[in-house]
Structures are given as structure tokens and as C-alpha cells.
């Protein structure tokens, strides 16, 4: 338990740790105020024993008791505020830290890591830490401190009762340790079920169109239901696993109180303890198990806190790409790839590619599916780092750039567009949050989306659904182009940007792309002949290697993948019903 508490404190920032330490110090003072109740009882008991109960005796007892209660109340108020502020601030800052950290992780991390896992850690795990962890940690810590103060007080009055109390606490600690050991097995199972349920929910919602299309509603709902029931099972069995130990802890604390009271009575009867001390020891026995009982029910959750901190820290411990380069403004925007290789999970994706892309030219990348086209563009923009070789921008290795200064040079338009649940205006100005409304409208007009935006209920202030769910594919694509126009980067990467556009949107989308790519360096991945035939150079990628390069006319004079690609599409275009 001590190691878990230490881990939680180290997880918090120095500011939050300071608040928690203050709360602990105040907890010690609160324990002293709580111990004053023994003094109040002692004053009353002494008056009764000496047959000298006067109003002064009653007044003194009431004053001591009032000071004790008022002190505990004021300190409880302050410690609650401190632990609440520390808990919520810690988890807020950790969420932000995780979000910032994710920005600089290799894209491969997101391929191999479940979205449900990341979502669970940043939502459920952080929420549990914010709302529960600080309270449990402080309650546990303060219960231990209160018990320690009371033990010291008992030893001051009678060392024999102190030894009985110490033995009872040792037995309590043994049972608590066994409970922690049991929870060490159950808590990861609970966390795993949390992740699985969130993954199932996300998958079900994101794939609901396909689920309905293929009439798989019942089977997919069954999968979601199974995940929810698995979480229920894990949560319930965590409780089942620890309830016997919690019960045993309560039995130990109450039996310790009984033994303390019985021993005090025995010592009084045989004349080795005064009646006053006997009464005070009996009262102390109730106060002892009161503080330990407060801890017993929550200490079972200590292991869950340990696991939650570990899960969050595991993400933060993933090595970032080396992003601490220089703030570089390149002299030109020539791109050059020098004998680059890249492997993913010991599987070679890019094998010894050399490529020069002069600025303000258009390069089309074509080739079979899975050949490495998208990976190649990801290496250019340093979404991944090459295994060997160099990627140069303006004659400088991209690793020499800070990540933010490198990203200023690239804009991306993907086949699958993601828009945020926000206003259309804010989605367009995403790359330039300080852009004025006039600049937003100008970018929208260039992207041929001003007309349909003005027809929406709130125009540019219309809030679109998450992922742009309330817009058509063509509309989302044009808004993403407006966003890229707004960023105004010198290098544009188009990854199948027009692959699935319907005919009625094609003309406007083509016009939007032309506006976006004026006076830019264009790198496009495309399967449409009309989008590649006018490129300054066409690069054919197969199995991670450049197998052909040249202009459309040059490649059409040679046998190879490109000519086959073009002829197949010409045949497909000539088919008629």
C-alpha cells in the first residue's frame, strides 16, 4: 500500500503534491483534535469518580469537546478542498499531458494500440483518479495517522493496552495485505474489461451503417452486450474477491476493541489500573476501530489506483520521436529522399527509395494496393522516422526541424476526412485559429463550399456532428480543402482525395483542388487517370520500391505497371450497359 501511495504522489505534479502534503499535515493535526475527545471524557469521568461533578467540570468538558469538534470540522473543510483541487487538477493536467504526448508519437503507435484503450485511459481511468483516488489516498493516509496518534496516546496511559492494540493493528495489516494481493489479480481484469467495453461501443457506433447494411444488428449488438456483461462480471467479482477480507478486517478491529476493553476491566479489577484509566481505555478502543473501519472499505481500491496510475504512465513513458529540433524556415521547398528504408514490426515497407521532388512541381505516386504509397508520404512529413537514409526538405534533414516548424510546410487532404464537432467556421480555421471571419469565407469560396454553407440553418456557425456526420462526402471533402487553403502550406499531400466523390460533386471538388494547389509543391496518391496524367513526374511504387518513374507519355511507351494501370482504366471506362 505504501508503494502505491508513493506512486500516486509521484504521478502528481509538484504543485498538486504540495497540496496533498499539506492535507496530510493537517490530517495529523485533525487526529490530535480527535484525540482531545479522550481528554473531555477523562474530565467528566474524573469528576464522577471523585464525586466532584460541578458546572465547572461540565463546562471544561464541553469546551474541550467543542474545540475538538470545531478543529476537526475546520480542518476537514480545508483538507477536502486541498485533496479535491489536487485530484482534479492532477488529472486535468495529465489528460493535457497525454494529449500533447500523443502528438509526438510515431503513427505506428496508433496502428498497434486500441482506440478503446487510449479512450479508456483518458476518460474512465483519469475520471476515476480525479474523483476517487485523491479522496481514497487521503482517507487512507489520515486513517493511518489518526490510528498512529491514538496508539501513542494509549501507550502514554498504559503500555499493556498499547501492546494489545499494536497486535490488533498488526493482524489488521496482515489481512489488508492479503486483500491487496487478491485485488492485484482482480483489478487488471476489471481494467481490461473496461477497455474492451469502450472498444466495443466505439466499434458499434462507428460501424453502425455497415452493421445495418449487412443486417448484422443482432450479432453486433450481441458482441456489445457480451462486452458490457463482461465488465459487469469483472466489477462484481472484484467486489466478491475483497468483501470477505473487508469483513475480516472489521472483525479484527472490533475484536481488538473488545480485547482492549476486557483487558482494561481486568487490570482495574486486579488493582493495576485506575478506574479513570480503565474508562479512558474502553473509550479509546471504540475510537481506534472507528478510524480503521473508515479505511477498510476503501483500501481495497488502492490496487485499482495503482493500476490506473500505471496505465496512464505507460502511455507517457512511450518514447516520443525526437522533435526538439530547430525552428527552421527552409530556403526552398525541394524534397529529396536518399536511399530511405522503413520497417514496421520487422516487416519491410520501404526498401531503398531515392526520389527528388522540386518545389512547385506535381508528383503523382501510383502503384498496387499495399505497395507503400501512403507510407512514403508519411515518411516525407515525418509521421514516421525512416529506418535508414535521409529525408531532406530545403536541403536539411527533416529530423533537424522541430516538429511544429516542419508541419508548417505540409497540408494534407485525405480520402477519409475527419471534421470536429464544432462550427463549420472553426473547422475551416483549424490550422489558423486566429483567422478572421473574412479569411474563413474567402477560403470557403476558393474551396467551392461557400454556397452550400450559407444554405445551412446557421451558416458558418452551424455545428456539425462529430466526424462531419451531418454533411455529405463531397461537402466534407471541400471543407477539408478549405482548411488546407487556410493553412496555406507550401507542400500539399493529396491521399486519394477524390477517389470516392460522386459525379455531381466532382466538378466543384476538382476546382477546389486546383485553387488549393496553385503555386504549390503537390504530392498526390491517386488511381484516377485524369488526376495523374498531367503530373510533372509519375512514380510507380511496388513492394516498397520505385519500379518506374517519368511523365505520362514516357511511361506509356514502356511495358510495366503504369501502362497496365492506364489500359485497365480505359477498358473500364469504355464498358457500357
> Is 134 in contact with 86 (CB distance < 8 Å)?
yes
Give residue 279's pLDDT: 82
pLDDT digits (tens, 9 = 90+) for 286-319: 777 666 766 666 666 666 677 778 878 888 887 7
% residues pLDDT > 90 (the chain):
2
**Phi, psi angles (nearest 5°) of residue 116:** -60, -35
Return the higher-pLDDT residue of 519 and 216: 519
Cell of 61: 468538558
> Is 272 in contact with 161 (CB distance < 8 Å)?
no
Alpha-carbon span 277 to 5, nearest angstrom: 36
In this predicted structure, the answer to whether residue 323 has a pLDDT above a threshold of 60 is yes
Alpha-carbon span 268 to 276, nearest angstrom: 9
Give residue 210's pLDDT: 58
pLDDT digits (tens, 9 = 90+) for 436-495: 888 888 888 888 888 888 888 888 888 886 656 667 777 887 888 888 888 888 888 887
Alpha-carbon span 298 to 9, nearest angstrom: 18
Beta pairing partners, 525: 365, 495
In this predicted structure, the answer to whether residue 339 has a pLDDT above a threshold of 80 is yes
Return the higher-pLDDT residue of 555 and 502: 555
In angstroms, how far is CA 122 from the centroid of its own chain?
2
Alpha-carbon span 345 to 343, nearest angstrom: 7
Residue 521 burial (10 A CB sphere; 0-12, 13-18, 19+): buried
Give residue 577's pLDDT: 47
In this predicted structure, the answer to whether residue 500 has a pLDDT above a threshold of 80 is no
Average pLDDT of the segment spanning 261-282 = 87
Give residue 320's pLDDT: 76
Lowest mean pLDDT among 95-109, 126-140, 322-336, 444-458: 126-140
Fold of 335-574: Rossmann fold (3.40.50)
Band the pLDDT of 221: cuts 50, 70, 90: confident
Taking each helix axis from N to C end, the angle separating 302-316 and 134-157, rounded to the nearest 10 degrees, works out to: 130
Alpha-carbon span 149 to 247, nearest angstrom: 25
In this predicted structure, the answer to whether residue 333 has a pLDDT above a threshold of 70 is yes
Alpha-carbon span 3 to 408, nearest angstrom: 45
Beta pairing partners, 523: 363, 493
The domain 2-316: what is its CATH number?
Answer: 1.20.1560.10
Helix (H, G, I), strand (E, B) or coil at 519: coil
Return the higher-pLDDT residue of 327 and 87: 327
In this predicted structure, the answer to whether residue 564 has a pLDDT above a threshold of 80 is yes
Average pLDDT of the segment spanning 60-77 = 87
CB-CB neighbours of 178 under 10 Å:
15
- Long-range Cβ contacts of 162-167 (<8 Å, 24+ apart): 164/256, 164/259, 164/260, 164/263, 165/256, 165/260, 165/285, 165/288, 167/256
Taking each helix axis from N to C end, the angle separating 55-103 and 134-157, rounded to the nearest 10 degrees, works out to: 150
Beta pairing partners, 348: 343
Alpha-carbon span 164 to 168, nearest angstrom: 6
Give residue 284's pLDDT: 78
In this predicted structure, the answer to whether residue 249 has a pLDDT above a threshold of 50 is yes
> Is 462 in contact with 424 (CB distance < 8 Å)?
yes
User: Which residues, including other chains, have CB under 8 Å from residue 292's CB and lie 6 or more apart?
Assistant: 143, 147, 169, 172, 249, 253
Element (H, E) at 452: helix 450-454
Lowest mean pLDDT among 119-128, 262-271, 295-304, 538-547: 295-304
Return the higher-pLDDT residue of 358 and 24: 358
Give CATH 1.20.1560.10 domain extents, the chain: 2-316
Please, what is the average pLDDT of the chain? 79
**Phi, psi angles (nearest 5°) of residue 25:** -60, -45
In this predicted structure, the answer to whether residue 336 has a pLDDT above a threshold of 80 is yes
CB-CB neighbours of 90 under 10 Å:
25
Region for residue 496 given its phi and psi (left: phi exceeds 0; alpha: psi -120 to 50; beta: otherwise): left
In this predicted structure, the answer to whether residue 111 has a pLDDT above a threshold of 70 is no
Torsion angle, alpha carbons of 546, 547, 549, 554, to 10:
-170
DSSP code of residue 364: E
Q: Evaluate the CA torsion angle 98, 103, 104, 106 in order and state its sign.
A: positive
Average pLDDT of the segment spanning 322-336 = 83
Helix (H, G, I), strand (E, B) or coil at 119: helix
Taking each helix axis from N to C end, the angle separating 159-206 and 217-269, rounded to the nearest 10 degrees, works out to: 170
Band the pLDDT of 24: cuts 50, 70, 90: confident
Alpha-carbon span 154 to 163, nearest angstrom: 9
Return the higher-pLDDT residue of 164 and 204: 164
Lowest mean pLDDT among 4-18, 128-142, 302-316, 539-553: 128-142
User: Which residues, including other chains, have CB under 8 Å from residue 391's CB and lie 6 or more apart?
Assistant: 335, 336, 337, 338, 340, 379, 380, 382, 397, 398
Amino acid at each position: 500500500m505504501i508503494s502505491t501511495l508513493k506512486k500516486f504522489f509521484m504521478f502528481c505534479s509538484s504543485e498538486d503534491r504540495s497540496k496533498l502534503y499539506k492535507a496530510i499535515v493537517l490530517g495529523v493535526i485533525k487526529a490530535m483534535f480527535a484525540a482531545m475527545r479522550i481528554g473531555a471524557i477523562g474530565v467528566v469521568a474524573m469528576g464522577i469518580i471523585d464525586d466532584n461533578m460541578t458546572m465547572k467540570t461540565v463546562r471544561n468538558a464541553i469546551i474541550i469537546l467543542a474545540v475538538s469538534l470545531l478543529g476537526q470540522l475546520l480542518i476537514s473543510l480545508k483538507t477536502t478542498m486541498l485533496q479535491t483541487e489536487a485530484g482534479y487538477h492532477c488529472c486535468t493536467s495529465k489528460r493535457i499531458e497525454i494529449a500533447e504526448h500523443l502528438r509526438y508519437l510515431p503513427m505506428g503507435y496508433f496502428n498497434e494500440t486500441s482506440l478503446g484503450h487510449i479512450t479508456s485511459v483518458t476518460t474512465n481511468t483519469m475520471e476515476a483518479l480525479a474523483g476517487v483516488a485523491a479522496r481514497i489516498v487521503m482517507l487512507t493516509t489520515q486513517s493511518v495517522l489518526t490510528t498512529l496518534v491514538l496508539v501513542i496516546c494509549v501507550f502514554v496511559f498504559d503500555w499493556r493496552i498499547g501492546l494489545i492494540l499494536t497486535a490488533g493493528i498488526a493482524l489488521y495489516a496482515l489481512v489488508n495485505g492479503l486483500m491487496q494481493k487478491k485485488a492485484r489479480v482482480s483489478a487488471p481484469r476489471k481494467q481490461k474489461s473496461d477497455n474492451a467495453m469502450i472498444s466495443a461501443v466505439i466499434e458499434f457506433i462507428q460501424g453502425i451503417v455497415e452493421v445495418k447494411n449487412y443486417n448484422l444488428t443482432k450479432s453486433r449488438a450481441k458482441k456489445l452486450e457480451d462486452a458490457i456483461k463482461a465488465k459487469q462480471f469483472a466489477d462484481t467479482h472484484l467486489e466478491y474477491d475483497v468483501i470477505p477480507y473487508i469483513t475480516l478486517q472489521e472483525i479484527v478491529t472490533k475484536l481488538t476493541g473488545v480485547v482492549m476493553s476486557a483487558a482494561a476491566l481486568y487490570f482495574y479489577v486486579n488493582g493495576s489500573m485506575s478506574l479513570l484509566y480503565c474508562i479512558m481505555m474502553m473509550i479509546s478502543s471504540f475510537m481506534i476501530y472507528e478510524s480503521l473501519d473508515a479505511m477498510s472499505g476503501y483500501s481495497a481500491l488502492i490496487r485499482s489506483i495503482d493500476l490506473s496510475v500505471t496505465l496512464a504512465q505507460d502511455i507517457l513513458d512511450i518514447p516520443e520521436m525526437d522533435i526538439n529540433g530547430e525552428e527552421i524556415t527552409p530556403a526552398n521547398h525541394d524534397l529529396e529522399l536518399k536511399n530511405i528504408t522503413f520497417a514496421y514490426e520487422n516487416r519491410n515497407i520501404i526498401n531503398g527509395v531515392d526520389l527528388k521532388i522540386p518545389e512547385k512541381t506535381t508528383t503523382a505516386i501510383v502503384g498496387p494496393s499495399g505497395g507503400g504509397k501512403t507510407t512514403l508520404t508519411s515518411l516525407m512529413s515525418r509521421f514516421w522516422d525512416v529506418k535508414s537514409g535521409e529525408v531532406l526538405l530545403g536541403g536539411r534533414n527533416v529530423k533537424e526541424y522541430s516538429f511544429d516548424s516542419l508541419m508548417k510546410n505540409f497540408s494534407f487532404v485525405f480520402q477519409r476526412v475527419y471534421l470536429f464537432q464544432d462550427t463549420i467556421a472553426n473547422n475551416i480555421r483549424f490550422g489558423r485559429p486566429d483567422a478572421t471571419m473574412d479569411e474563413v469565407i474567402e477560403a470557403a469560396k476558393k474551396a467551392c463550399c461557400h454556397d452550400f454553407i450559407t444554405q445551412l440553418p446557421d451558416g458558418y456557425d452551424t455545428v456539425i456532428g462529430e466526424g462531419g456526420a451531418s454533411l455529405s462526402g463531397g461537402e466534407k471533402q471541400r471543407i477539408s480543402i478549405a482548411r488546407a487553403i487556410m493553412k496555406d502550406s507550401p507542400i500539399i499531400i493529396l491521399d486519394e482525395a477524390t477517389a470516392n466523390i460522386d459525379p455531381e460533386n466532382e466538378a466543384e471538388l476538382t476546382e477546389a483542388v486546383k485553387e488549393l494547389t496553385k503555386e504549390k509543391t503537390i504530392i498526390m496518391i491517386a488511381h484516377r487517370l485524369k488526376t495523374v496524367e498531367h503530373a510533372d513526374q509519375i512514380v510507380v511504387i511496388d513492394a516498397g520500391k520505385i519500379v518506374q518513374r517519368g511523365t505520362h507519355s514516357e511511361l506509356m511507351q514502356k511495358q510495366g505497371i503504369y501502362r497496365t494501370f492506364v489500359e485497365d482504366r480505359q477498358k473500364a471506362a469504355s464498358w457500357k450497359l
